[in-house]
Homo-oligomer: A and B are copies of this chain.
């Protein structure tokens, strides 16, 4: 599976959160990061090229800072230009049918303000209805949004967790069940070259992989047992 990240950010070099996210996936061969502001400094979107890019990927992610409860304008322009023509209106299915669609949002306000009675009054789920409607229209499967609130206040440990979660959001098998997440982590650990680690950590890597795999086996046994009753 290949993932396309359509990224919109007018000032990305000054965004700590975006730099952090981009660094965390730049080695991933199955992830294409497509930065609209960099590709189209004049705002003129190449419809044909963008449609070809969409066809080559199975998971489509819109990644952007939440500006006035929506995307920066260039991503809206991208939608209006790229989602044009019969391919996006056929009743029997658009060219995006069956693909997965998700949002990665960086938000400057705390999550607790996004609720009735909170400062922002609506949840992020409510505010992103237009994207859910796009996914519905296209016949795409909508992934729960991935939101990062107030990145600057995250501890180093929270940032490490964020990095794993983000990588999983882009490349892991959905839904984000315990089983899918654990398999994904085992796979990621197995592809780690032990020689890249300090010698004292190599045994620890082996132990973690064994431990996680055993837990997966135990869980699978439990599930099998439960279905017998």
Contacts and interface: CB of A to CB of B under 8 A. Distances in A.
Interface string A136-147: 110000000000
B71 A129 contact: no
Given A122-B133, A126-B126, A129-B129, A76 B72 contact: yes
Contacts of A71: 76
Which of A120, A122, A133, A136 has the most C-beta atoms of chain B within 10 angstroms of its own C-beta?
Answer: A133
A70 interface: yes
A68 interface: yes
B129 A69 contact: yes
A77 B68 CA distance: 10
B130 A70 contact: yes
Contacts of A67: 76, 79-80
A43 B122 CA distance: 30
Contact of A136 (B43, B74, B121, B133): B121
A83 interface: yes
Interface in A75-110: 76-77, 79-80, 83
A127 B120 contact: no
A22 interface: no
Interface residues of A, number: 27
Contacts of A137: 119-121
A18 interface: no
Interface string A46-70: 0000000000000000000001111
A73 B73 contact: yes
B70 A70 contact: yes
A59 B136 CA distance: 34
A70 B132 CA distance: 12
Interface of A: 43, 67-74, 76-77, 79-80, 83, 119-122, 126-127, 129-130, 132-134, 136-137
Given A69-B134, A121-B136, A130-B130, 20 more contacts: A67-B76, A67-B79, A67-B80, A68-B76, A68-B79, A68-B80, A68-B134, A70-B70, A70-B76, A70-B130, A71-B76, A73-B76, A73-B80, A120-B137, A121-B132, A121-B133, A126-B126, A126-B129, A127-B133, A129-B129
